[in-house]
Amino acid sequence: MTADYRFLKACRRQQVDRTPVWMMRQAGRYLKEYRALRARHSFLEMCRTPELAAEVTLQPLRRFDFDAAIIFADILLPLPGMGVDLTFAKGEGPVIGNPVRTAADVEALRPLEPDVHVPFLAAAIRMVRRELEDRAPLIGFSGAPFTLASYVLEGGGSKNFVATKTLMYGEPRVWHRFMEKMSDVVVAYLQYQVEAGVQALQLFDSWVGVLSSGDYREFVLPYSTRVLGALEGTVPLIHFGTDTAALLGTMREAGGDVMGVDWRLDLADAWAILGEDVGVQGNLDPITLYAPPEVIEARVARVLQSAGGRAGHIFNLGHGVLPTTPPEHVEVMVEAVHRLSAR
Ligand code: CP3
């Protein structure tokens, strides 16, 4: 009883009746039903309670005609099991109490044991699969080794990635040892989600665009390659980053059935860099959703035109939807994608 989902067909670059569409961060604060639950539970509590995680995963699919669900979780959830102290400060995002600074800190990091450290994630995935039935496929995800490492080194989000690049440039052997460990964690985290039933995976290398292509090749490519290689042949793999115009060709060498790009790069230019034998996901600027409906529709049309009806286009925003986005405008986008791409 496997439904012929247009999202999975597009991942395989097969012909589809309409371009599939979903949104990064589609489960979240722009929905009042999310905020209502969030008012009573912390973010980590929601992630760690399968009933709550399953409920907020499904909320956007009840409202909008999305072609995929993404499991409600976070790229930082593997960290506590490794011995990294993670909290979410109100209004400030993630805070890591014991950032990694030395070779000894790297050695002290423990491997992830998913059954022990993140059992709630498998439980939530099973619950969502049961409730979705044939409505839509479910996407699992992880941070890529670089993006995850950057949080552990910086102690949270960052602008200039000073701690990350200081280790990378100054102590390359420690860097490589750290990335090996992070890669093992990411592989375990993703394999666990596949075993629990996700039907596609997205690897978020959200901040990799701060690197030159030479540094990417030397310090990141081997590890993203290892991760994507370990998952190859399981479910379709989406490999995403932002600000990657200068890196995209090199990133592709790491693997992925579909490359995710942000709004800075025209989709036709992305395919010119990548070659035609790979899918592309993207790439409406999330801020477009603050514009009036006719502007949204015109800009959706522009993205579709740039994709040129190629098999292997998955429509998405260029990055996550923002919390103050009007939900009615998401509806406008989804409807426009399906209507304007009907073959
Ligand atoms: O896409 C989805 O709907 C699935 C859920 C999802 C979340 N985080 C839930 C979340 C996904 C795919 C992520 C990925 C994630 N998490 C990334 C990579 C994605 C990207 O945007 O590039 C990163 C860098 C993180 C780490 C993280 N988690 C940060 C920096 C923050 C704070 C910033 C923010 O948006 O508030 C979070 C918290 C977080 N993760 C929220 C959600 C819904 C907000 C929590 C809240 O309700 O307060």
Tell me the domain boundaries of the chain: 2-341
Distance between CA atoms of residues 67 and 119, nearest Å: 27
Active site annotation includes 110: no
For ligand 1, the distance from its centroid to the CA atom of residue 93, given in whole angstroms, is: 9
More confident residue, 277 or 1: 277
* Those residues with Cβ within 8 angstroms of residue 60's Cβ, 6 or more apart along the chain or in another chain: 23, 26, 27, 31, 66, 69
pLDDT of residue 1: 44
Tell which one of 21, 25, 90 to mutate to probe ligand 1, the residue whose CB is within 8 A of the most ligand atoms.
25
Q: What mean pLDDT do residues 39-68 have?
A: 98
Active site annotation includes 74: yes
Pocket of ligand 1 (CB under 6 A): 24-29, 38, 43, 70, 72-76, 93-94, 141, 157, 204, 206, 319-320
Residue found under tokens 């009933």: 51
More confident residue, 1 or 115: 115
pLDDT of residue 339: 98
Distance between CA atoms of residues 232 and 107, nearest Å: 29
For ligand 1, the distance from its centroid to the CA atom of residue 213, given in whole angstroms, is: 26
CATH tag, 2-341 = 3.20.20.210
**Ligand 1, closest atom to CA 93?**
32
Give this prediction's pTM: 0.97
Catalytic, out of 30, 151, 189, 192 = 151
For ligand 1, the distance from its centroid to the CA atom of residue 9, given in whole angstroms, is: 27
Q: What mean pLDDT do residues 208-224 have?
A: 98
The residue whose CA is least distant from atom 34 of ligand 1 is 93
The residue whose CA is least distant from atom 43 of ligand 1 is 28
For ligand 1, the distance from its centroid to the CA atom of residue 309, given in whole angstroms, is: 31
pLDDT band at 129 (very low <50, low <70, confident <90, very high): very high
CA dihedral of residues 100, 105, 106, 108 (deg, nearest 10)? -130
For ligand 1, the distance from its centroid to the CA atom of residue 274, given in whole angstroms, is: 28
Tell which one of 41, 74, 203 to mutate to probe ligand 1, the residue whose CB is within 8 A of the most ligand atoms.
74
Beta pairing class for 258-260 and 237-241: parallel
Active site annotation includes 29: yes
The string of pLDDT tens digits covering residues 221-269 is: 999 999 999 999 999 999 999 999 999 999 999 999 999 999 999 999 9
Active site annotation includes 173: no
The pLDDT of residue 2 is above 80: no
For ligand 1, the distance from its centroid to the CA atom of residue 60, given in whole angstroms, is: 15
For ligand 1, the distance from its centroid to the CA atom of residue 74, given in whole angstroms, is: 6
**Ligand 1, closest atom to CA 34?**
47
Residue 8's alpha-carbon distances to 5, 137, 145, 180, 331, in angstroms, are: 5, 8, 25, 30, 22
Catalytic, out of 25, 101, 217, 252 = 25
Mean pLDDT of the chain: 97
| Radius of gyration, CA atoms only, the chain | 19
Q: Return the closest-CA partner of residue 163 out of 171, 155, 154, 172.
A: 154
Q: Are 210 and 161 in contact (CB under 8 A)?
A: yes
Q: What mean pLDDT do residues 266-281 have?
A: 98
Q: Are 4 and 16 in contact (CB under 8 A)?
A: no
**Ligand 1, closest atom to CA 147?**
24
The pLDDT of residue 285 is above 70: yes
Catalytic, out of 13, 34, 67, 74 = 74
* 213 CB-contact burial (10 Å; exposed 0-12 / middle 13-18 / buried 19+): middle
The pLDDT of residue 24 is above 50: yes
Q: Which tokens in the block code for residue 56?
A: 């907020």
Q: What mean pLDDT do residues 171-199 have?
A: 98
Active site annotation includes 151: yes
